[in-house]
Amino acid sequence: MSILISSIKNSFNRLSLSFTKESWLASFFFFLVLCSWYILRPVRNEMAVQNSDILPYLLGIGAFVMLLLNPIYSWLASRRNLKGVLVGCYSFFIVNLFTFIILWEFFDLSSAVWLSQVFYIWCNVYSFFVVSIFWVVIINLFRGDGATNVFGVIAAGGSLGAFLGSEISKQLASTFNESGIIFFTLISIFFLMLALVAGLFLLKRFVSMKGIDNAAGGSSFDAVKNLVSSSQIRSIGLYMYLWTAMMTIHWVTSIDIVNSWSSDGGNRIIFFSNIEQTVTILTLFTQFFLTSAIIRFAGPKTILMFYGFLFTGAFIGYYIYPSIAYVFIITIILRLFEYGINKPTREVVFSYLKRTDRYKSTVLVDTFLVRMGDFSGSGLILFAKSFGVAFSQIPLLAIPFATCLGILGYKIPPKERIGD
């Protein structure tokens, strides 16, 4: 009995380490970042449905754009400290959003198909860069074992932001067919501006931290060089590439089912928003009370490896029961595991990397390699369809790749080897 009481007491002591002023501020920062993105996310998904016939090509263009942007980002990170990187990147995307509003409103291009396709590509670039830059800040402020304690709480703030953003998007869904996405975009800009302010306040809390005012140094192509030369970065990068390819196969398959279920854009936005909100509620509980304990108990290897088994089960399910109900359930399960457990685990792994890799390589992995995974996953679907494979059977072709994902997860170095 005394052992049980002692174990419970230790669990509460560890939990108390998660709730600091800095972790709460970081959590609020993430709340604002994801709120900004999740206002646009259901709209992005609706645009994917509208352009489903050319979706793989749009994903390929998105990957190419990220490849072009990464050296520019690396150049900025080489010459600016964390504050300069945060201000430069977020200001860039705020200006981008205002540019789209000007094109829609003042150049009467709100119904232009080509602009909606450009906006879809840009949304993918935007979502990965603003979230990736957030994590660049976090993994440079919270390092090592301290990261294990606080990343669950920080991620929980993001889940709350995702919930609010999805709710705002759902409330605006009735205006989508008449007014387009201008309202969505304006509110997204507002929250991204607030996120920038919150990020600057967080950096002020760490003003005395060694190296906080220093730029990462190096060249614009350090991330690419490190990807080639470092087995650690290659393992993490290949894992992210395969994970995204699997998620894209799931997503494109689900998009086809949703498209068959309803032809009304407003209904589809509400469906996507309901998924976001359900995921958020479940993820929030997981992040607050379970994430840190699961990471400590299971360890990064086991968690990263489990993803392969999860995708295998998901793809078998699509073959057996391809319905709107299954899309709803399996999307929630996959996203809950990703946001509640797998993503915080990957960021803990990232926090042990060398300084240059924390600034640059993680962004290359989170943007370009992830988008290449998108492109490859959708490319596999196109390839299979060109040979007459039934759409319901295509997810089965991805099972060997899901197995490779599990093996890679097991091979990612443990924390004591990362950053050597």
9 found inside a domain: no
Residue 15 token pair: 């939990």
Q: What does pTM read for this prediction?
A: 0.74
**pLDDT by residue (tens digit) across 336-368?**
999 889 888 887 888 777 777 777 788 888 878
313 found inside a domain: yes
Let me know: does 233 contact 346? Beta carbons within 8 Å. Answer: no
> What is the chain's pLDDT, residue by residue, as a tens digit (420 residues)?
454 345 445 544 555 556 677 888 999 999 999 999 999 888 887 777 777 778 778 878 888 888 888 888 878 777 788 888 899 999 999 999 999 989 888 877 767 788 888 888 898 889 888 988 898 888 888 876 666 677 778 888 888 898 899 888 888 877 665 566 788 889 999 999 999 999 999 998 876 665 555 655 566 577 777 777 777 788 888 998 999 999 989 988 888 888 888 877 778 878 888 887 888 889 888 877 888 788 888 888 889 999 899 999 999 999 998 899 999 999 999 999 998 898 888 878 887 777 777 777 888 888 788 878 888 888 888 888 888 887 778 889 999 999 999 998 887 755 544 444
6 found inside a domain: no
Angstrom distance (rounded) from CA 329 to CA 84: 41
Angstrom distance (rounded) from CA 55 to CA 251: 11
Angstrom distance (rounded) from CA 97 to CA 400: 40
Tokens 């607050």 appear where?
288
Let me know: does 131 contact 33? Beta carbons within 8 Å. Answer: yes
92 found inside a domain: yes
Residue type, 138: I
* Predicted local distance difference test score (pLDDT) of residue 310: 94
Provide the greatest CA pair distance for the chain: 73
Nearest CA to 185 out of 100, 253, 260 is that of 100
Angstrom distance (rounded) from CA 179 to CA 182: 7
161 to 32, 98, 380: CA distances (angstroms): 6, 22, 33
Nearest CA to 65 out of 126, 131, 148 is that of 126
User: What angle (nearest 5°) sits at the alpha carbon of residue 126, between those of residues 206 and 315?
Assistant: 110
Q: Residue 266: how many CB atoms within 10 A of its CB?
A: 17
* Range of the structural domain that residue 123 is part of: 20-206+213-411
Angstrom distance (rounded) from CA 28 to CA 49: 32
419 found inside a domain: no
Angstrom distance (rounded) from CA 110 to CA 363: 32
Let me know: does 83 contact 394? Beta carbons within 8 Å. Answer: no
1 to 11, 128, 297: CA distances (angstroms): 15, 48, 21
3 found inside a domain: no
237 found inside a domain: yes
Angstrom distance (rounded) from CA 170 to CA 129: 24
Angstrom distance (rounded) from CA 113 to CA 111: 6
CATH number for 88: 1.20.1250.20
Residue 258 token pair: 């949703």
Residue 34 token pair: 């994801």
11 found inside a domain: no
Nearest CA to 273 out of 76, 40, 88, 65 is that of 40
* The total number of structural domains that make up the chain: 1
Beta strands in 238-372 (DSSP E): none
* Predicted local distance difference test score (pLDDT) of residue 420: 40
